[in-house]
Amino acid sequence: MDKSLGVIERFKDPEILAQMGIGEKLGGSLIIMVLGILTCIVVLTLIMIVIKIMHKLMESAEARAAGRSVLLVTSPVAGSVVSVAAAAGKTAAQGDLLATVSGPQGESGVCAAEAGKVTQIKVKAGDSVNVGDVLAVLEKKEAAQ
């Protein structure tokens, strides 16, 4: 039996398949199944990333179309939201703490990069976030006036 062939190639050849024992067939089937599952996970993860990016772009485009200038406040780390200091409808000055996220390196304060009105809070304490997830949406001060 030619063991230099890959698992999938060995299963494609009826002569090699006929010479395999039940253990080899089960082991090969398990390997092929695991590879298929891993491929599905990778593809679904990529699709989720594309959907998140498209959602962020659409949110920004909607705001621009409405004549507003928005700032998406995103998480700098993957982890858990410890607290949310901002509230929708409130005004935030540049540098104001909006939320605290706990990650592998400890807690990180997420502050407003520019002054503006908080239009949306997208998370609550205890939520899990990834790097780049939108925590809050600010309407920039010059656009809010």
pLDDT of residue 70: 81
CA torsion angle 120 123 125 130 (round to 10) = -140
Residue 80, burial from CB neighbour count under 10 angstroms (0-12, 13-18, 19+): middle
pLDDT of residue 80: 94
pLDDT of residue 93 exceeding 80: yes
The whole-model pTM stands at: 0.54
pLDDT of residue 132 exceeding 60: yes
